[in-house]
Amino acid sequence: MDNIKECVQLLARFNNRSVNSLDPQMKKCVDDLKIYRSQNPQIYSRIINQHHRPVNLQPGTVGVALFGCEQSFYGNIEDDRCSCLCLQDTCSKQVWILSRKKLQKLNESSDPFAYLYVPRNFRMVDKFEEILRKAGIKEVCLLDTSYSKHTVLETIKFDKKKDIDVAVNDNDDESNEDEEVKSNKNWIWWIIIFVILIVAVAYWINFGSSKKVLLERSNILLGRLRSNSHV
């Protein structure tokens, strides 16, 4: 029990810190507390109630690991067992949170329905949808968490049309890449031809200049020979 009290005292100073950002020793404390709470819930409650509980618990933080299960009402959520503040092993749905701008799965469920805890200004961009689809999710309920209570924002169903659109877009991208490669090759050939023309012109200019010089020198030499012959 002394070890558990030390863990609580250590973690209570970092209620708003993300669990993912903790060092290995503090993460071990979080894991130890979870095990101890499941085995000795009443004793754990007595220990944790000696510390100040934050009013606004946010998903994925140390405060949730310490105090999340010490409340009886979790707001507008159909199944309290799937609350990210006190996730139970009996929750059959997939549970995800948005932590540090990345999606994080909290349980091992493979159910096609998921709860996703996000900020109120969250937007379902393509990369998030792709991650959820790959996890086998066909329907996701978005929930905001404010003052340790959940509010449903919206429920999104992923249809098969998106998969077709993605496949078509992928093919279009490949076609565009092929066209781009062909275009680049054409440019290279044009550059080579242009360089050859420049070299050829330079050669003929130099050759013409050399020929002119030779002719001038020949005429001078002939003139001198004629002068000498007259003498």
Mean pLDDT, all residues of the chain: 85
pLDDT at position 188, please? 82
pLDDT tens digits, one per residue of 48-97: 999 999 999 999 999 999 999 999 999 999 999 999 999 999 999 999 99
User: What is residue 229's predicted lDDT score, i.e. its pLDDT?
Assistant: 56
Query: When comparing pLDDT for 12 and 161, which is higher?
Result: 12
Checking DSSP bridges between strand 149-157 and strand 139-146, what pairing results, if any?
antiparallel
53 φ, ψ (degrees, to nearest 5): -95, 125
Lowest mean pLDDT among 11-15, 107-111, 130-134, 224-228: 224-228
Radius of gyration of the CA atoms of the chain, in A: 38
- C-alpha 32: how far from its chain's center? 31
| DSSP 8-state secondary structure symbol assigned to residue 161 | H
Sorted by where each begins, the domain ranges of the chain are: 1-70, 74-158
How confident is residue 167, by pLDDT bands cut at 50, 70 and 90? very low
Model-wide pTM > 0.75? no
Nearest to 139 by CA among 120, 153, 117, 158: 158
Per-residue pLDDT reduced to its tens digit, 104-155: 999 999 999 999 999 999 999 999 999 999 999 999 999 999 999 999 999 9
Per-residue confidence (pLDDT) for residue 2, from 0 to 100? 81
pLDDT score at 227: 65
Contacts of 132 (CB under 8 A, 6+ apart): 96, 103, 114, 116, 140, 158
Question: Does residue 230 surpass a pLDDT of 70?
Answer: no
Question: What percent of the chain is modeled with pLDDT above 90?
Answer: 67
Cα–Cα distance measured from residue 61 to residue 101, given in angstroms and rounded to the nearest whole number: 14
Report which of 58, 129, 224, 198 is spatially closest to residue 68, judged by C-alpha positions: 58
pLDDT at 168 over 50: no
- With bands split at pLDDT 50, 70 and 90, how would you rate the model's confidence at 212? low
